[in-house]
Structure 1
Amino acid sequence: MPAQPAAPSTPINRQRIAIIGSGIAGLSAAWLLSRDHDVTLYERAAKPGMGIYSVDIPWADKSTSIDIPLRVFTPAYYPSLLRLYRDAGVRTETTDHAAAYADADNRLFFHYGNLQLGKRSLSFPKLLNGPLLAQHLNLFNTLQQHKHSPDTDQQSFGSFLQQHSLDNDYCRQILLPALATVCTCDYDDVLAYPADILINYLTCGVMKDGLMRASGGVDEVVAQLLESNVSLRTATAIDHIEEDNHGVRVCSGAQTAVFDRVVIATQPHHASQILSKLPSAQSRCQQLQQIPVVESRMQLHTDTSLLPASLMPLAPVSYFLPGDENRPEATVDLAKAIGHLRNGPAILQVWNPLRAANPSSVLADVTFSRPLVTLQSRQAVRELRRQDASQRILLTGSYLCDGIPLLDGAVESSLRVAHLIGSSRAW
């Protein structure tokens, strides 16, 4: 990950700041800035964005909140998020990331487990498939050899796989389903990613460091990042912003408010809409529109009949791979992945459900959007990242990182904004 800018050496001038959007980018920006500035956080939903899709379910004679989607991270790829959680007092825990793969007939054909050894996680095959395991080792050997190759940032991941003659069956059965789930997109979208981004992710230590999550889920993250001195305005959709000599005017219907600075912490297509009436922002609008955004569907249910019978006592993560689909169906059994739910009945969180669950078992069904990275959009992102301290309107979001647009990219982006505005909390 890129090094962070140096902290400002001059005294911090207290300002009125509006942050639009309360996902992890907006929440981290609010936490970083609220000690030194007067912060108002706008959210169009009824509650802060990280928990917008969370649901409460009965559990052990009480109610428990389930995050949708489940947020997990690996320390090596999420250093900024981990530092933010530590500084803000968000508790973390390790989570089992063992995975199993089933074919179109729901038959298990590959399964790996992981053994937690202190802070390290040792992954190992539990259902041995010799050819796939050999290709897996070949892939990681190839990735390590080209990790620092200068030409991979000008090459798509699909081109890289073809150039090095990596086995098509392995890619379609193991590699692409896993990456499509991480990036929440189609296989074709994965293949269009800049090669260096996915090579960096795959070689950063996911299989050695394992996965972690916030112990209390997004409820704890929101509670720790959203301090009492932040003015939270939920159910407030921002139509557009205006800029004049008095400051930046935030407009929501007939209501307006004036601030010294505005930080837009939304998805890129929403940021473009908010900026659309500003003549001075037309170049940024065009760049934002070059960033592709795709929709994903996620379902929460308890219908275990959709799992392979042989998988029931095994892995928390399973992939169902019908041969003609361009995305996998990826299922996480939360009772195996979340500490306080362990040893309880299965609760299945399914990304891209391809099979119909029993309607009576469905607890939630949501759609959300995520940005992608292509060789073409990367140049637009690099232009958008060239923000400076003189600008009164700043952007933050996972799409502004030079990697997969995940939680860490959002925090890293908010750190850059905090340095530009002035923050005693930014590291």
Structure 2
Amino acid sequence: MNIAIIGSGIAGLTCAWRLAGHHQVTLFEAGATPGGHTATVDVATPQGTWAIDTGFIVYNDRTYPRFMGLLSELGIAGQKTQMSFSVHNPASGLEYNGHSLTSLFAQRRNLLKPAFWGLLSEIVRFNRLAKLALTEALDPGATLESFLTRHRFSPFFARHYILPMGAAIWSSSLQEMRRFPLPLFLRFFENHGLLDIRDRPQWYVVPGGSREYVRALLARLGDRLDLRLNAPVQQVDPPPGGGHPAAGVRGGAF
């Protein structure tokens, strides 16, 4: 069977990997390089060259079981890493990092600031209320801001914890995070252990950068995959009289 796959991100490449042994697979990628949002950049320093991921960066042992299985098939062993959250707010001057007590109170003056202790208390309260909300039927139209308002979380908590954390995860602005769908937000935080102070998942990186699993997949697929770069799909239409849909691509059709 001739099969077309649209997009060469992790989903598209994995589908090609599973199908290419039994079918003729053509993969259409709109961009100039395969890999979806994997983006590894080599940065030269006096100590050597470092592979820095700017797209897909980390995965964990709790919510990525199939991805870890794929890496195992490819002979790629993950490297343990740490995940922490830092805030620096130039407007308020507040700065902290959640990795340890030392980094949490990197600004020693925060030890004497009631507002900072209040922030820590609100983090614990948010985690508790979020877990409780997940046991109930969530309004699909609810937003993060509506949750914060209903439970009377302070603007200080919003500006210095929950909004910047969400913005860092989803590459969004603080205002966009206020409108973020609450059910998705809470489920993501729960699944990734972000509502827990302890018992968080172990995080890993791909040695050499996430491009390495893309390279490994393409190398193993070889000529079994017809990879077409710079080939954005314009539309997908069912053929007259039924049958399998056809993909319209720049310069022709499939």
Aligned residue number for residue 288 of structure 1: none
Aligned residue number for residue 11 of structure 2: 25
Of 198, 212, 218, the match for 2:210? 218
Amino acid aligned to 2:226:
S
Aligned residue number for residue 75 of structure 1: 61
Deviations 1:186-208 (A, max 9, x none): 22332323322212222331451
Of 123, 148, 165, the match for 1:161? 148
Which whole-Å CA distance do the structure 2 matches of 1:184 and 1:154 have between them?
A: 21
Amino acid aligned to 1:38:
Q
Aligned residue number for residue 191 of structure 1: 178
8 Å CA contact 1:93, 1:212 repeated in 2: yes
* CA 1:236–1:203: 2 relative to 1, 3 Å: closer
| Distance apart, 1:172 and its partner CA | 1.3
Aligned residue number for residue 135 of structure 1: 122
* CA 1:203–1:252: 2 relative to 1, 3 Å: closer
Which whole-Å CA distance do the structure 2 matches of 1:103 and 1:157 have between them?
A: 21
Say yes or no: does 1:125 pair with 2:111.
no
* CA 1:143–1:219: 2 relative to 1, 3 Å: same
Which whole-Å CA distance do the structure 2 matches of 1:182 and 1:218 have between them?
A: 17
8 Å CA contact 1:155, 1:194 repeated in 2: yes
Aligned residue number for residue 248 of structure 2: 251
8 Å CA contact 2:231, 2:249 repeated in 1: yes
8 Å CA contact 2:231, 2:250 repeated in 1: no
Amino acid aligned to 1:66:
I
| Distance apart, 1:63 and its partner CA | 5.4
* CA 1:55–1:239: 2 relative to 1, 3 Å: same
Question: Structure 2: 5+ residue runs without aligned partners?
Answer: none
Which TM-score applies when normalising by structure 2? 0.77
Of 236, 240, 265, the match for 2:235? 240
8 Å CA contact 1:18, 1:40 repeated in 2: yes
Question: Structure 1: 5+ residue runs without aligned partners?
Answer: 1-14, 116-122, 258-427
| Distance apart, 1:64 and its partner CA | 5.1
8 Å CA contact 1:21, 1:44 repeated in 2: yes
Amino acid aligned to 1:149:
E
Q: How many residues align?
A: 236
Aligned residue number for residue 71 of structure 2: 85
Aligned residue number for residue 340 of structure 1: none
Which segment is superposed worse, 203-212 or 224-233? Answer: 203-212
Amino acid aligned to 2:227:
L
Aligned residue number for residue 21 of structure 2: 35
Identity %, equivalent residues: 23
DSSP-derived class of the 2:30 partner: coil
8 Å CA contact 2:7, 2:30 repeated in 1: yes
Say yes or no: does 1:104 pair with 2:104.
no
DSSP-derived class of the 2:26 partner: strand
DSSP-derived class of the 1:239 partner: strand
Which whole-Å CA distance do the structure 1 matches of 2:185 and 2:62 have between them?
A: 14
Which whole-Å CA distance do the structure 2 matches of 1:126 and 1:109 have between them?
A: 9
Say yes or no: does 1:173 pair with 2:138.
no
| Distance apart, 1:106 and its partner CA | 8.5
DSSP-derived class of the 1:150 partner: coil
Which segment is superposed worse, 56-65 or 137-146? Answer: 56-65
Root mean square deviation, CA, Å? 3.1
Q: Which has the higher strand share?
A: 1
* CA 1:215–1:102: 2 relative to 1, 3 Å: same
DSSP-derived class of the 1:113 partner: coil
